[in-house]
Amino acid sequence: MDSPWDDLTLAFSHTSMFPFFDIAHYLVSVMAMKRQPGAAELARQNPVSSWFTAMLHCFGGGILSCMLLAEPPLKFLTNHTNVLLASSIWYIIFFCPCDLVSQAYSYLPVQLLAAGMKEVTRTWKIVGGVTHANSYYRNGWIVMIAIGWARGAGGAIMTKFEQLVKGDWKPGSDEWLKMSYPSKLTLLGSIMFTFQHTEHLAVSKHNLMFFYTVFLVTTKITMMVTETSSVTLAPFEDTLSRVLFGWQKQFSWCEKKSETKPSSNGTGSSASKPTAGASESVKKKHAKKTG
């Protein structure tokens, strides 16, 4: 317990997010907002709306988790220090003369540093969400996973919803819930921290926080340097998906039937040839009734 390694990770897990990591998080969030087309002009024409959007980008995860737990979504506004910090960063980024901050941010090392620090705050948010949900629902592990996930990755959902309402963005049926890579990592982390909290995972919390943070930061920086969007989880996902949802493929003797299945889904394709079998005719009767 008292090994130097434990001391190190324990000290790491007690790091305060407040001034520097929070600043990095707000910086990355507001810069991501500024890169959207039209954001800079909107800030000049309607600063209140732009400030509101910036707050959603900075505090989106907290707002979402508050809504899911029926706490006031405005609770983040009571933390005056953080709101003023985020507002200052929004102000500096959008209204600094000569766009100095944007130019400084365009150096890759600055971006790497800020992005890495932002990923550190993600771990803290997940742990905070899991602990907070546990104080509501003892042993409610599904809720704990959901709240940890919402607080860690909910900002993306809030900002997408905000864009939807503002009409900047039309949803396609295939993209709304397609999970981004950070979202998947956050889900994974939320599951791990929940199981650690319910003591199904025999590892101390500060060790898990340390390793998960290192993993987050290295993957993020690797992705930024190599300019790829998602690497490491693909084989893991494929295996899991094949185990959970792909084992039906082995039943080759019903392959033919399942090929003709889509015709009963109401899509109205007329391709299903009248092959034999009682079940087929039943299915058709059914399709006629519901179509």
- Per CB under 8 A, which of residues 148..207 are in contact with a second copy? 161, 164-168, 170-174, 176-179, 187
Distance in angstroms (rounded) separating the CA atoms of residues 194 and 151? 14
Q: Output 203 or 249, the one with its CB closest to a second copy.
A: 249
Stated as kind and residue range, the H or E segment containing 83 is helix 80-95
Question: Cα(262)–Cα(288) distance, rounded to whole angstroms?
Answer: 14
Looking at residues 36 to 75 of the shown chain, list those that interact with a second copy (rule: CB under 8 A): 36-40, 42-44, 46-49, 52, 66-74
Angle at 69 between CA 115 and CA 54, to 5 degrees: 35
Asked whether position 243 contacts a second copy by CB under 8 A, the answer is: no
Residue with tokens 């907290």: 62
- Mark the segment that binds a second copy (CB under 8 A) among 89-97, 112-120, 189-197, 205-213: 89-97
Q: Which is nearer to a second copy, 15 or 49 (CB)?
A: 49
- Distance separating alpha carbons of residues 13 and 208, to the nearest angstrom: 9
- How many residues belong to the site for a second copy (CB under 8 A)? 86
254 binds a second copy (CB under 8 A): yes
Coil, strand, or helix at residue 37? coil
Contacts of residue 115, defined as CB under 8 A and 6 or more positions apart, other chains included, come to: 24, 28, 220, 221, 224
CA–CA dist 265, 146 (Å, integer) = 31
Residues between 2 and 41 with contacts to a second copy, criterion CB under 8 A: 34-40
* Residue 113 C-alpha from the chain's centroid: 20
| Span 206-225, contacts to a second copy by CB under 8 A | none
In the bound state with a second copy, the residue whose beta carbon lies nearer, of 6 and 259, is 259
Of the ranges 115-123, 199-207, 208-216, 256-264, which one interacts with a second copy (CB under 8 A)? Answer: 256-264
Q: How far is the CB of 18 from a second copy (least distance, A)?
A: 18
Question: Does position 275 bind a second copy by CB under 8 A?
Answer: no
When asked if residue 244 is in the footprint of a second copy (CB under 8 A), the reply is: yes
